[in-house]
Homo-oligomer: A and B are copies of this chain.
Amino acid sequence: VITLTPEEALVSSRIRKLKEQAGSHSPSIISLNEQIPELNIQIDACFLSNPYATDVFLVYLKNELLSNDLKLRDVLEFYPSQNEVIANVLAHGLGVNVNNIFVGNGAVEVIQAVMHNFIKNKVVINVPTFSPYYEYVKEGKQVVYYALNKEDDFTINVDHYIAFIRANQPDTIVLINPNNPDGGYIAYEQLRKILVGLKQVENIIIDESFVHFAFEDENRTLITATELFKEFENVIVIKSMSKDFGIAGIRCGYGVMNKYKVMNLLKNGYLWNSNGLSEYFFRLYERDDFKQAYEVVRKRYIADAQQFFQALRDIPHIRVYPSKANFALLELLDGTTSADFVSKLLIKYGVYTRNCSDKIGLHGEFVRIAGRTRDQNEAIIAALRDMYGA
Protein backbone atom coordinates (compact mmCIF):
# COMPACT_ATOMS: atom_id res chain seq x y z
CA VAL A 1 0.00 0.00 0.00
CA ILE A 2 1.31 3.43 -0.94
CA THR A 3 1.23 5.88 1.95
CA LEU A 4 2.28 9.50 2.18
CA THR A 5 4.91 10.99 4.46
CA PRO A 6 3.60 13.75 6.76
CA GLU A 7 5.16 16.37 4.44
CA GLU A 8 3.54 14.76 1.40
CA ALA A 9 0.19 14.59 3.21
CA LEU A 10 0.28 18.36 3.75
CA VAL A 11 0.93 19.06 0.08
CA SER A 12 -1.70 16.47 -0.83
CA SER A 13 -4.38 18.31 1.14
CA ARG A 14 -3.58 21.46 -0.82
CA ILE A 15 -3.87 19.53 -4.08
CA ARG A 16 -7.25 18.22 -2.94
CA LYS A 17 -8.44 21.75 -2.22
CA LEU A 18 -7.48 22.91 -5.73
CA LYS A 19 -9.29 19.91 -7.16
CA GLU A 20 -12.44 20.86 -5.26
CA GLN A 21 -12.27 24.37 -6.72
CA ALA A 22 -11.91 22.99 -10.25
CA GLY A 23 -15.25 21.18 -10.02
CA SER A 24 -15.52 17.98 -12.01
CA HIS A 25 -12.29 18.69 -13.88
CA SER A 26 -8.65 18.59 -12.89
CA PRO A 27 -6.79 21.70 -11.82
CA SER A 28 -4.55 22.84 -14.68
CA ILE A 29 -0.77 22.63 -14.50
CA ILE A 30 -0.76 26.45 -14.46
CA SER A 31 -2.98 26.54 -11.34
CA LEU A 32 -0.91 23.83 -9.66
CA ASN A 33 2.36 25.63 -10.38
CA GLU A 34 0.94 28.94 -9.18
CA GLN A 35 -0.70 27.64 -6.01
CA ILE A 36 1.83 24.98 -4.98
CA PRO A 37 5.17 26.28 -6.27
CA GLU A 38 7.18 23.61 -4.44
CA LEU A 39 5.79 21.02 -6.88
CA ASN A 40 8.21 20.15 -9.64
CA ILE A 41 5.90 18.91 -12.37
CA GLN A 42 7.85 17.06 -15.05
CA ILE A 43 5.16 15.21 -16.95
CA ASP A 44 1.49 16.06 -17.43
CA ALA A 45 -0.08 12.63 -17.84
CA CYS A 46 -3.44 14.13 -16.96
CA PHE A 47 -3.52 15.90 -20.30
CA LEU A 48 -4.94 13.86 -23.21
CA SER A 49 -3.18 15.13 -26.27
CA ASN A 50 -0.71 14.03 -28.94
CA PRO A 51 2.46 16.08 -28.38
CA TYR A 52 3.94 15.02 -31.75
CA ALA A 53 0.93 16.57 -33.50
CA THR A 54 1.51 19.83 -31.64
CA ASP A 55 5.07 19.77 -33.03
CA VAL A 56 3.75 19.41 -36.57
CA PHE A 57 1.23 22.22 -36.13
CA LEU A 58 3.85 24.56 -34.66
CA VAL A 59 6.12 24.09 -37.69
CA TYR A 60 3.29 25.14 -40.02
CA LEU A 61 2.24 28.01 -37.80
CA LYS A 62 5.74 29.42 -37.63
CA ASN A 63 6.56 29.02 -41.30
CA GLU A 64 3.28 30.31 -42.67
CA LEU A 65 1.81 32.72 -40.16
CA LEU A 66 4.23 33.92 -37.50
CA SER A 67 6.90 34.71 -40.07
CA ASN A 68 4.54 36.89 -42.08
CA ASP A 69 3.57 40.09 -40.26
CA LEU A 70 0.70 40.93 -42.57
CA LYS A 71 -0.89 37.48 -42.40
CA LEU A 72 -0.46 37.33 -38.63
CA ARG A 73 -2.08 40.71 -38.24
CA ASP A 74 -5.02 39.68 -40.42
CA VAL A 75 -5.69 36.65 -38.23
CA LEU A 76 -5.70 38.71 -35.01
CA GLU A 77 -7.24 41.99 -36.14
CA PHE A 78 -10.16 40.96 -38.35
CA TYR A 79 -13.29 38.99 -37.63
CA PRO A 80 -12.96 35.29 -38.39
CA SER A 81 -15.33 33.84 -40.96
CA GLN A 82 -18.91 32.97 -40.09
CA ASN A 83 -19.88 29.45 -39.03
CA GLU A 84 -21.15 28.46 -42.47
CA VAL A 85 -17.99 29.61 -44.26
CA ILE A 86 -15.83 27.37 -42.09
CA ALA A 87 -18.33 24.53 -42.45
CA ASN A 88 -17.79 24.90 -46.17
CA VAL A 89 -14.02 24.53 -45.68
CA LEU A 90 -14.61 21.25 -43.79
CA ALA A 91 -17.33 19.80 -46.02
CA HIS A 92 -15.07 18.30 -48.68
CA GLY A 93 -12.79 16.46 -46.25
CA LEU A 94 -15.66 15.15 -44.14
CA GLY A 95 -17.54 14.04 -47.23
CA VAL A 96 -20.83 15.58 -46.11
CA ASN A 97 -22.85 18.57 -47.20
CA VAL A 98 -21.98 22.01 -45.81
CA ASN A 99 -25.41 22.23 -44.18
CA ASN A 100 -24.69 19.09 -42.12
CA ILE A 101 -21.78 20.75 -40.28
CA PHE A 102 -21.91 22.86 -37.14
CA VAL A 103 -18.55 24.41 -36.24
CA GLY A 104 -17.79 24.72 -32.52
CA ASN A 105 -15.50 26.70 -30.25
CA GLY A 106 -14.08 23.36 -29.17
CA ALA A 107 -16.19 20.21 -29.00
CA VAL A 108 -17.49 21.27 -25.61
CA GLU A 109 -19.48 24.07 -27.27
CA VAL A 110 -21.02 21.51 -29.62
CA ILE A 111 -21.87 19.30 -26.63
CA GLN A 112 -23.49 22.28 -24.89
CA ALA A 113 -25.46 23.29 -27.99
CA VAL A 114 -26.71 19.76 -28.60
CA MET A 115 -27.58 18.99 -24.95
CA HIS A 116 -29.36 22.35 -24.51
CA ASN A 117 -31.33 22.30 -27.73
CA PHE A 118 -32.12 18.74 -28.78
CA ILE A 119 -33.01 16.77 -25.65
CA LYS A 120 -36.79 16.73 -25.44
CA ASN A 121 -37.48 14.77 -22.27
CA LYS A 122 -35.01 12.03 -21.51
CA VAL A 123 -31.36 11.23 -22.24
CA VAL A 124 -29.42 8.03 -21.56
CA ILE A 125 -25.75 8.52 -20.72
CA ASN A 126 -23.28 5.69 -20.17
CA VAL A 127 -21.16 5.92 -17.02
CA PRO A 128 -18.33 6.46 -16.37
CA THR A 129 -18.31 9.38 -18.81
CA PHE A 130 -17.04 12.89 -19.63
CA SER A 131 -18.90 15.01 -17.07
CA PRO A 132 -20.27 17.83 -19.34
CA TYR A 133 -22.63 15.24 -20.84
CA TYR A 134 -24.69 15.22 -17.66
CA GLU A 135 -23.70 18.66 -16.33
CA TYR A 136 -25.03 20.42 -19.44
CA VAL A 137 -28.48 18.80 -19.30
CA LYS A 138 -30.97 21.57 -18.52
CA GLU A 139 -33.28 21.45 -15.54
CA GLY A 140 -36.50 19.55 -16.10
CA LYS A 141 -34.97 16.89 -18.40
CA GLN A 142 -34.49 13.36 -17.16
CA VAL A 143 -31.05 11.69 -17.16
CA VAL A 144 -30.88 7.89 -17.07
CA TYR A 145 -27.48 6.28 -16.54
CA TYR A 146 -26.46 3.07 -18.28
CA ALA A 147 -23.67 1.37 -16.37
CA LEU A 148 -20.51 0.18 -18.08
CA ASN A 149 -19.01 -2.41 -15.73
CA LYS A 150 -15.41 -3.04 -14.87
CA GLU A 151 -16.16 -6.78 -14.91
CA ASP A 152 -16.80 -6.39 -18.66
CA ASP A 153 -13.76 -4.13 -19.16
CA PHE A 154 -16.28 -1.26 -19.59
CA THR A 155 -17.38 -2.64 -22.95
CA ILE A 156 -20.97 -2.45 -24.19
CA ASN A 157 -23.03 -5.58 -24.67
CA VAL A 158 -24.84 -4.44 -27.81
CA ASP A 159 -27.98 -6.56 -27.38
CA HIS A 160 -28.33 -5.60 -23.73
CA TYR A 161 -27.82 -1.92 -24.55
CA ILE A 162 -30.41 -1.96 -27.35
CA ALA A 163 -32.94 -3.67 -25.06
CA PHE A 164 -32.23 -1.13 -22.31
CA ILE A 165 -32.77 1.83 -24.63
CA ARG A 166 -35.95 0.34 -26.09
CA ALA A 167 -37.31 -0.22 -22.60
CA ASN A 168 -36.42 3.30 -21.38
CA GLN A 169 -37.49 5.16 -24.55
CA PRO A 170 -35.18 8.17 -24.33
CA ASP A 171 -35.21 10.73 -27.16
CA THR A 172 -31.42 11.15 -26.90
CA ILE A 173 -28.53 8.78 -26.18
CA VAL A 174 -24.79 9.44 -25.86
CA LEU A 175 -21.99 7.12 -26.94
CA ILE A 176 -18.39 8.26 -26.50
CA ASN A 177 -16.15 6.13 -28.68
CA PRO A 178 -13.52 5.37 -27.43
CA ASN A 179 -15.03 6.16 -24.05
CA ASN A 180 -13.50 8.60 -21.55
CA PRO A 181 -12.15 7.76 -18.92
CA ASP A 182 -11.71 4.03 -19.69
CA GLY A 183 -10.73 3.91 -23.36
CA GLY A 184 -13.28 1.20 -24.13
CA TYR A 185 -14.03 0.96 -27.83
CA ILE A 186 -17.14 -0.05 -29.79
CA ALA A 187 -16.08 -1.58 -33.11
CA TYR A 188 -17.59 -0.03 -36.24
CA GLU A 189 -19.83 -3.00 -37.05
CA GLN A 190 -21.06 -3.16 -33.44
CA LEU A 191 -21.85 0.54 -33.58
CA ARG A 192 -23.74 -0.01 -36.80
CA LYS A 193 -25.72 -2.77 -35.16
CA ILE A 194 -26.72 -0.35 -32.38
CA LEU A 195 -27.89 2.19 -34.96
CA VAL A 196 -29.89 -0.43 -36.88
CA GLY A 197 -31.61 -1.39 -33.65
CA LEU A 198 -32.34 2.16 -32.48
CA LYS A 199 -33.80 3.97 -35.49
CA GLN A 200 -36.62 5.33 -33.31
CA VAL A 201 -34.24 7.37 -31.08
CA GLU A 202 -34.26 10.99 -32.25
CA ASN A 203 -30.68 11.92 -31.34
CA ILE A 204 -27.83 9.42 -31.21
CA ILE A 205 -24.78 11.38 -30.14
CA ILE A 206 -21.49 9.70 -31.04
CA ASP A 207 -18.57 11.59 -29.52
CA GLU A 208 -15.46 10.70 -31.50
CA SER A 209 -13.03 13.01 -29.75
CA PHE A 210 -10.55 10.13 -29.24
CA VAL A 211 -11.26 8.11 -32.39
CA HIS A 212 -8.00 9.08 -34.09
CA PHE A 213 -6.25 6.88 -31.52
CA ALA A 214 -8.48 3.85 -32.20
CA PHE A 215 -7.81 1.20 -34.86
CA GLU A 216 -9.23 -2.04 -36.16
CA ASP A 217 -6.51 -3.11 -38.57
CA GLU A 218 -2.73 -3.51 -38.57
CA ASN A 219 -2.35 -0.37 -40.63
CA ARG A 220 -4.28 1.71 -38.05
CA THR A 221 -6.62 3.13 -40.67
CA LEU A 222 -8.77 6.03 -39.48
CA ILE A 223 -12.34 5.10 -38.61
CA THR A 224 -15.24 7.55 -38.29
CA ALA A 225 -18.94 7.46 -37.51
CA THR A 226 -19.41 10.24 -40.09
CA GLU A 227 -19.84 7.31 -42.51
CA LEU A 228 -22.67 6.03 -40.33
CA PHE A 229 -24.30 9.48 -40.25
CA LYS A 230 -24.71 9.17 -44.03
CA GLU A 231 -26.79 6.06 -43.42
CA PHE A 232 -28.61 7.03 -40.18
CA GLU A 233 -29.85 10.59 -40.01
CA ASN A 234 -30.48 10.48 -36.25
CA VAL A 235 -26.70 10.32 -35.69
CA ILE A 236 -24.93 13.41 -34.33
CA VAL A 237 -21.15 13.06 -34.56
CA ILE A 238 -19.22 15.31 -32.15
CA LYS A 239 -15.51 15.75 -32.73
CA SER A 240 -12.90 17.55 -30.68
CA MET A 241 -9.63 18.41 -32.41
CA SER A 242 -7.84 19.23 -29.18
CA LYS A 243 -6.60 15.72 -28.43
CA ASP A 244 -5.57 14.28 -31.78
CA PHE A 245 -4.05 17.50 -33.11
CA GLY A 246 -2.66 18.68 -29.77
CA ILE A 247 -4.18 22.16 -29.95
CA ALA A 248 -6.55 22.48 -26.98
CA GLY A 249 -5.67 26.16 -26.60
CA ILE A 250 -7.03 27.04 -30.04
CA ARG A 251 -10.54 25.58 -29.49
CA CYS A 252 -11.53 23.60 -32.56
CA GLY A 253 -14.39 21.17 -32.79
CA TYR A 254 -17.36 20.37 -34.96
CA GLY A 255 -20.58 18.41 -35.12
CA VAL A 256 -22.04 16.50 -38.08
CA MET A 257 -25.81 16.22 -37.99
CA ASN A 258 -29.09 16.43 -39.88
CA LYS A 259 -29.40 19.81 -41.64
CA TYR A 260 -32.51 20.82 -39.69
CA LYS A 261 -30.53 20.50 -36.46
CA VAL A 262 -27.75 22.70 -37.86
CA MET A 263 -30.35 25.24 -39.02
CA ASN A 264 -31.94 25.18 -35.57
CA LEU A 265 -28.60 26.05 -33.94
CA LEU A 266 -27.56 28.72 -36.44
CA LYS A 267 -31.01 30.33 -36.57
CA ASN A 268 -30.34 32.40 -33.50
CA GLY A 269 -26.70 32.09 -32.58
CA TYR A 270 -23.14 30.88 -33.15
CA LEU A 271 -22.26 33.39 -35.85
CA TRP A 272 -18.60 34.15 -35.03
CA ASN A 273 -17.67 31.36 -32.63
CA SER A 274 -14.41 30.50 -34.38
CA ASN A 275 -11.32 32.60 -33.81
CA GLY A 276 -8.56 33.60 -36.23
CA LEU A 277 -6.27 30.76 -35.21
CA SER A 278 -9.02 28.13 -35.30
CA GLU A 279 -9.93 29.28 -38.80
CA TYR A 280 -6.25 28.97 -39.74
CA PHE A 281 -6.24 25.43 -38.30
CA PHE A 282 -9.46 24.38 -40.05
CA ARG A 283 -8.04 25.50 -43.38
CA LEU A 284 -4.76 23.68 -42.67
CA TYR A 285 -6.67 20.53 -41.70
CA GLU A 286 -8.04 20.33 -45.24
CA ARG A 287 -4.61 20.40 -46.89
CA ASP A 288 -3.04 17.21 -48.18
CA ASP A 289 0.50 18.13 -47.14
CA PHE A 290 -0.62 18.72 -43.56
CA LYS A 291 -2.72 15.55 -43.54
CA GLN A 292 0.26 13.47 -44.62
CA ALA A 293 2.54 14.96 -41.96
CA TYR A 294 -0.19 14.42 -39.36
CA GLU A 295 -0.82 10.78 -40.33
CA VAL A 296 2.80 9.92 -39.59
CA VAL A 297 2.68 11.31 -36.05
CA ARG A 298 -0.81 9.91 -35.40
CA LYS A 299 0.46 6.39 -36.04
CA ARG A 300 3.69 6.97 -34.12
CA TYR A 301 1.72 8.21 -31.12
CA ILE A 302 -0.66 5.21 -31.22
CA ALA A 303 2.31 2.82 -31.32
CA ASP A 304 3.93 4.56 -28.35
CA ALA A 305 0.68 4.63 -26.38
CA GLN A 306 -0.09 0.96 -26.90
CA GLN A 307 3.49 0.04 -25.94
CA PHE A 308 3.09 2.22 -22.83
CA PHE A 309 -0.16 0.47 -21.83
CA GLN A 310 1.63 -2.88 -22.25
CA ALA A 311 4.45 -1.75 -19.98
CA LEU A 312 1.91 -0.56 -17.38
CA ARG A 313 0.56 -4.12 -17.25
CA ASP A 314 3.89 -5.28 -15.77
CA ILE A 315 3.53 -2.97 -12.75
CA PRO A 316 2.26 -4.95 -9.75
CA HIS A 317 -0.89 -4.10 -7.75
CA ILE A 318 -2.69 -2.31 -10.58
CA ARG A 319 -5.12 -3.45 -13.26
CA VAL A 320 -4.85 -1.75 -16.65
CA TYR A 321 -8.13 -1.79 -18.58
CA PRO A 322 -7.97 -2.30 -22.36
CA SER A 323 -7.90 1.05 -24.17
CA LYS A 324 -8.07 2.22 -27.75
CA ALA A 325 -7.74 5.84 -26.68
CA ASN A 326 -4.56 7.71 -25.75
CA PHE A 327 -5.01 7.04 -22.04
CA ALA A 328 -5.50 4.02 -19.80
CA LEU A 329 -7.67 3.58 -16.76
CA LEU A 330 -5.83 1.96 -13.84
CA GLU A 331 -7.52 0.29 -10.91
CA LEU A 332 -5.50 0.14 -7.69
CA LEU A 333 -5.78 -3.33 -6.20
CA ASP A 334 -3.69 -3.19 -3.02
CA GLY A 335 -5.83 -0.82 -0.93
CA THR A 336 -3.98 2.34 -2.02
CA THR A 337 -6.42 5.23 -2.50
CA SER A 338 -6.45 7.04 -5.83
CA ALA A 339 -5.80 10.34 -3.96
CA ASP A 340 -2.63 8.94 -2.36
CA PHE A 341 -1.47 7.39 -5.65
CA VAL A 342 -1.90 10.67 -7.54
CA SER A 343 -0.30 12.73 -4.76
CA LYS A 344 2.72 10.44 -4.33
CA LEU A 345 3.33 10.27 -8.07
CA LEU A 346 3.04 14.05 -8.39
CA ILE A 347 4.99 15.11 -5.30
CA LYS A 348 7.79 12.53 -5.37
CA TYR A 349 8.13 11.90 -9.12
CA GLY A 350 6.67 15.02 -10.77
CA VAL A 351 4.13 13.01 -12.79
CA TYR A 352 0.57 14.43 -12.86
CA THR A 353 -2.24 11.91 -13.35
CA ARG A 354 -6.05 12.08 -13.09
CA ASN A 355 -7.71 11.00 -9.85
CA CYS A 356 -11.02 9.49 -10.98
CA SER A 357 -12.67 9.46 -7.55
CA ASP A 358 -15.22 12.06 -8.73
CA LYS A 359 -16.35 9.99 -11.71
CA ILE A 360 -19.90 8.69 -11.44
CA GLY A 361 -20.11 4.93 -12.02
CA LEU A 362 -16.60 3.87 -11.00
CA HIS A 363 -16.56 1.53 -8.03
CA GLY A 364 -13.07 1.16 -6.61
CA GLU A 365 -9.89 3.23 -6.72
CA PHE A 366 -9.21 4.50 -10.22
CA VAL A 367 -6.60 6.70 -11.89
CA ARG A 368 -6.46 7.79 -15.54
CA ILE A 369 -3.04 8.08 -17.09
CA ALA A 370 -2.30 9.58 -20.51
CA GLY A 371 0.30 8.44 -23.01
CA ARG A 372 2.87 11.15 -23.69
CA THR A 373 6.11 11.07 -25.70
CA ARG A 374 8.07 7.82 -25.67
CA ASP A 375 10.69 9.28 -23.31
CA GLN A 376 8.05 10.54 -20.92
CA ASN A 377 6.23 7.21 -21.00
CA GLU A 378 9.48 5.46 -20.01
CA ALA A 379 9.99 7.93 -17.17
CA ILE A 380 6.45 7.26 -15.92
CA ILE A 381 7.05 3.51 -15.97
CA ALA A 382 10.31 3.96 -14.03
CA ALA A 383 8.51 6.14 -11.46
CA LEU A 384 5.76 3.54 -11.01
CA ARG A 385 8.28 0.72 -10.65
CA ASP A 386 10.11 2.68 -7.99
CA MET A 387 6.88 3.64 -6.23
CA TYR A 388 5.75 0.00 -6.02
CA GLY A 389 9.29 -1.28 -5.33
CA ALA A 390 9.04 -3.45 -8.42
Q: Which residues of A are in contact with B by a Cβ distance under 8 Å?
A: 22-23, 25, 28-31, 47, 49, 51, 54, 57-58, 61, 66, 72-82, 85, 105-106, 108-109, 112, 115-116, 132, 135-138, 242, 246-251, 268-273, 275-278
Query: How far apart are A41's CB and chain B's nearest CB, in angstroms?
Result: 12
Query: How far apart are A104's CB and chain B's nearest CB, in angstroms?
Result: 10
Known contacts A75-B249, A249-B78: does B268 contact A136 (CB below 8 Å)? yes
Query: How far apart are A350's CB and chain B's nearest CB, in angstroms?
Result: 17
Please determine whether A135 and B268 come into contact, CB atoms closer than 8 angstroms: yes
Q: CA A85 – CA B21 in complex, angstroms?
A: 10
Please determine whether B275 and A78 come into contact, CB atoms closer than 8 angstroms: no
Please determine whether B247 and A77 come into contact, CB atoms closer than 8 angstroms: yes
Please determine whether A250 and B269 come into contact, CB atoms closer than 8 angstroms: no
List 7 additional contacts besides A57-B76, A76-B277, A116-B269; criterion CB under 8 Å.
Answer: A25-B82, A58-B76, A74-B249, A76-B247, A80-B248, A80-B251, A132-B271
- When the two chains form the complex, which single residue of B61, B242, B251, B276 contacts A249, counting CB atoms closer than 8 Å? B276
Instruction: Provide the residues of chain B in CB contact with A138, threshold 8 Å.
Output: 268
Please determine whether A54 and B73 come into contact, CB atoms closer than 8 angstroms: yes
Query: How far apart are A246's CB and chain B's nearest CB, in angstroms?
Result: 6
Instruction: Provide the residues of chain B in CB contact with A109, threshold 8 Å.
Output: 105, 273
Q: CA A137 – CA B275 in complex, angstroms?
A: 24
Instruction: Provide the residues of chain B in CB contact with A81, threshold 8 Å.
Output: 28, 30-31
The 18 listed contacts between A and B (C-beta, < 8 Å) are: A25-B271, A29-B78, A30-B78, A54-B73, A54-B76, A58-B72, A58-B73, A58-B76, A76-B247, A77-B246, A78-B249, A79-B248, A105-B251, A105-B273, A106-B272, A115-B268, A138-B268, A250-B276
Please determine whether B54 and A249 come into contact, CB atoms closer than 8 angstroms: no
Please determine whether A22 and B272 come into contact, CB atoms closer than 8 angstroms: no
Please determine whether A78 and B136 come into contact, CB atoms closer than 8 angstroms: no
Instruction: Provide the residues of chain B in CB contact with A242, threshold 8 Å.
Output: 79
Instruction: Provide the residues of chain B in CB contact with A47, threshold 8 Å.
Output: 78-79
Known contacts A106-B272, A136-B268: does B25 contact A51 (CB below 8 Å)? no
Q: CA A273 – CA B104 in complex, angstroms?
A: 10
Please determine whether A49 and B28 come into contact, CB atoms closer than 8 angstroms: no
Residue of B nearest to A242 (CB): B79
Please determine whether A80 and B249 come into contact, CB atoms closer than 8 angstroms: yes
Query: How far apart are A139's CB and chain B's nearest CB, in angstroms?
Result: 8
Q: CA A359 – CA B328 in complex, angstroms?
A: 55
Q: CA A135 – CA B269 in complex, angstroms?
A: 8
Instruction: Provide the residues of chain B in CB contact with A85, threshold 8 Å.
Output: 31
Instruction: Provide the residues of chain B in CB contact with A137, threshold 8 Å.
Output: 268
* Interface-central residue, A77, A116, A135, by most chain B CB under 10 Å: A77
Residue of B nearest to A61 (CB): B76
Instruction: Provide the residues of chain B in CB contact with A276, threshold 8 Å.
Output: 249-250
Please determine whether A77 and B269 come into contact, CB atoms closer than 8 angstroms: no
